Structure 1
């Protein structure tokens, strides 16, 4: 099957409602390649390693969560940026990226997919005051001690999380937001949930968790965001009949 690039982008923009979000990077097509698409490689980040794998697989399109051209980055095309762009342009490969729209989608989004992986029940948004926000609140499949939940995360994500809190405390309610959402801990505190789960942690978050008694689980930026783009790719394969390969370039952060 061959898919027109414009048709694909129009479909993705509508599906992910990209116009709802004020993001830190452009969503959609970031680097133009071939107009007709037959093989897509999906991955978390458009690293050189992912590009190399896409070239080896004969892909004409790469679809990722973390693309390029972030707000505040060096605008010069030098070094690593030059090499990545050179590889994409030489092989005529499209780079398509969706950041916050992919985090927030209620079915294919990172937060929704992480909830499915961990069997969390979603009750609402972490920030109810902003309907365009990312992050959710809900409940564990059953009450667990913090140690049991930490083991549950490790088994599901194949990565040991960092936990701040007492291991014997029982957890039932939780807020979560994949990736680098340690700054959302206060929203979880304000929501009154027992715990907060994200990918990364910083120094202030440790003290906030300890002093409020809110359990904090840092399970890895990459590890918590593998599932949205994978699910989106599987959807596209079924919808349009194109070949889609998910390539997981491991990242310990």
Structure 2
């Protein structure tokens, strides 16, 4: 497949123009014109790049790419090494951030809801990145935390009252701890995200709503994996999902 055809296919599927994002979505670093083998992963770290070189990939597809608005524009140090690896190996880098969080089928939120067996999972009408739904059955907080630990292979941090039952869940993968009060306003028994901030402890205690931080990486593995599987099934590309350990 031509590289530009791959970009067009992904853009059509994820519609990045709908989002005001923190980094460019789509093709970030251009490599060879023909793509046969794609390596998919969460973050374009040096370790992922090295694995893509080892696997002789033509392109890398990630959720967390480069050129974030908050970072320096200078291509030095780690950034220089990463980009040098791509250019020397003629490997393209494609990244989709918020479009991959929000996609109704392949997105991080949709895939996490599917993994946890959430019933009637859907985004909020006011905030497309904040999802809501119901657990398949009412659960004690401890039992749900145990299920999360098993499914995500990571021990979650649970804040707020522990002696209650959960049924209605709100969630947003990654670093979405700032959505906690919006989730509370939606009437959820618990809010699930990847990361936590100091104030979340106090809000959980005072509102009496459970806050669960299950890991940024752990909650965002499934969107890019699903996107890669879709590419392989629908467009006959070889796609290798590489899940590198990250405890955060």
TM-score range, shorter chain: over 0.9
Match of 2:242 among 247, 250, 253: 247
CA-to-aligned-CA distance 1:177-209 (integer Å, 9 cap, x gap): 000000000111111110000000000111111
**How far, CA to CA, are the matches of 1:243 and 1:12 in structure 2?**
15
| Deviation, structure 1 residue 157 | 0.5
**How far, CA to CA, are the matches of 2:23 and 2:235 in structure 1?**
27
The ranges of structure 1 where at least 4 consecutive aligned residues each deviate by more than 6 angstroms after the TM superposition are none
| Deviation, structure 1 residue 5 | 1.1
**How far, CA to CA, are the matches of 1:104 and 1:174 in structure 2?**
17
Q: Is the 8 A contact 2:63 2:95 kept in 1?
A: yes
Q: Where does the alignment leave 5 or more consecutive residues of structure 2 unmatched? A: none
**How far, CA to CA, are the matches of 1:95 and 1:122 in structure 2?**
35
**How far, CA to CA, are the matches of 1:168 and 1:209 in structure 2?**
13
Q: Is the 8 A contact 2:161 2:204 kept in 1?
A: no
Q: Is the 8 A contact 2:38 2:61 kept in 1?
A: yes
Query: Is residue 129 of structure 1 aligned with residue 121 of structure 2?
Result: no
Task: Classify the secondary structure of the residue corresponding to 2:136.
Answer: strand
**How far, CA to CA, are the matches of 2:152 and 2:109 in structure 1?**
14
CA-to-aligned-CA distance 1:36-80 (integer Å, 9 cap, x gap): 100000000000000000000000100000000001201111000
Aligned equivalent of 2:69: 71
**How far, CA to CA, are the matches of 2:112 and 2:126 in structure 1?**
23
CA-to-aligned-CA distance 1:96-145 (integer Å, 9 cap, x gap): 0000000000111000000111111244323x224xx3120111111000
Q: Is the 8 A contact 2:40 2:241 kept in 1?
A: yes
Aligned equivalent of 2:146: 151
Task: Classify the secondary structure of the residue corresponding to 2:10.
Answer: helix
TM-score by structure 2 length? 0.98
Q: Is the 8 A contact 1:181 1:200 kept in 2?
A: yes
Task: Classify the secondary structure of the residue corresponding to 1:37.
Answer: coil
Q: Is the 8 A contact 1:103 1:109 kept in 2?
A: yes
| Deviation, structure 1 residue 166 | 2.5
Query: Is residue 8 of structure 1 aligned with residue 10 of structure 2?
Result: no
Q: Is the 8 A contact 1:88 1:94 kept in 2?
A: yes
Q: Where does the alignment leave 5 or more consecutive residues of structure 1 unmatched? A: none
Q: CA RMSD in A?
A: 0.9
Match of 2:183 among 167, 182, 188: 188
Q: Is the 8 A contact 1:159 1:223 kept in 2?
A: yes
Aligned equivalent of 1:23: 21
Q: Is the 8 A contact 1:115 1:122 kept in 2?
A: no
| Deviation, structure 1 residue 150 | 0.4
